[in-house]
Amino acid sequence: MNWKFFLIDSEWKPVSTAALIGWLIFYALFLLHAATNRDGFLLLDHVNLIVHEAGHPLFRYLGYVPGILGGTLLELLVPFFLAVHFWRQREVTGVTFCSFWFFENFPYIGRYMADARTVALPLVGSGDHDWEILFTHWRLLVHDRQIGGFTTFLGWIGMLGSVAWLLWMWRKTSQE
């Protein structure tokens, strides 16, 4: 196996200062919007919802639980595999955006998880609440708010970490 693929030190494409400033403005505005948004449905969540709904029939062939979980799985796998693609291309901004997108899913998923007992959110598709079904199946329903809150927290840490990685990689590639 070629371990050089996983190393940060191998020939990443540099990010210009202008591109860095543009991306930082984008991320700052997005994070501000996410922090102040009260309905919990952000711009990228329109795309995430389509991908989520496509995951159910795709994973349904693996069984009932994978079919229910498949929406969330595909919602996370799409940006993850895109990030891997950009990693292979050594595109800092592509990896950053896809990592940010990956973690941007977490607050949305966390809100959905935290709603499992109350089932108050409007639902799309079959009308079944994925996380109410899954948490009941796994006997975790009474912990829906804690799990949802932790998932949301991980999302915020991941989004901020993605932006920090962009800054670190900009500094690293601009010094070479």
pLDDT at 127 over 80: no
pLDDT at 99 over 90: yes
43 vs 100: which has the higher pLDDT: 100
Q: Tell if the pTM clears 0.75, that is, is over it.
A: yes
pLDDT at 125 over 70: no
Q: How does pLDDT run across 54-97, given as a tens digit for each residue? A: 999 999 999 999 999 999 999 999 999 999 999 999 999 999 99
Q: How many other CB atoms sit within 10 Å of the CB of residue 46? A: 9
Q: How many other CB atoms sit within 10 Å of the CB of residue 138? A: 10
pLDDT at 5 over 60: no
Q: Which domain holds residue 91?
A: 15-110+146-174
135/80 Cα distance (integer angstroms): 24
In a domain, 32, yes or no: yes
Question: In the structure encoding, which two tokens stand for residue 164, read together?
Answer: 């920090």
84/77 Cα distance (integer angstroms): 10
pLDDT of residue 63: 97
In a domain, 25, yes or no: yes
Instruction: Give the chain's domain count.
Output: 1
In a domain, 10, yes or no: no
In a domain, 50, yes or no: yes
14/168 Cα distance (integer angstroms): 11
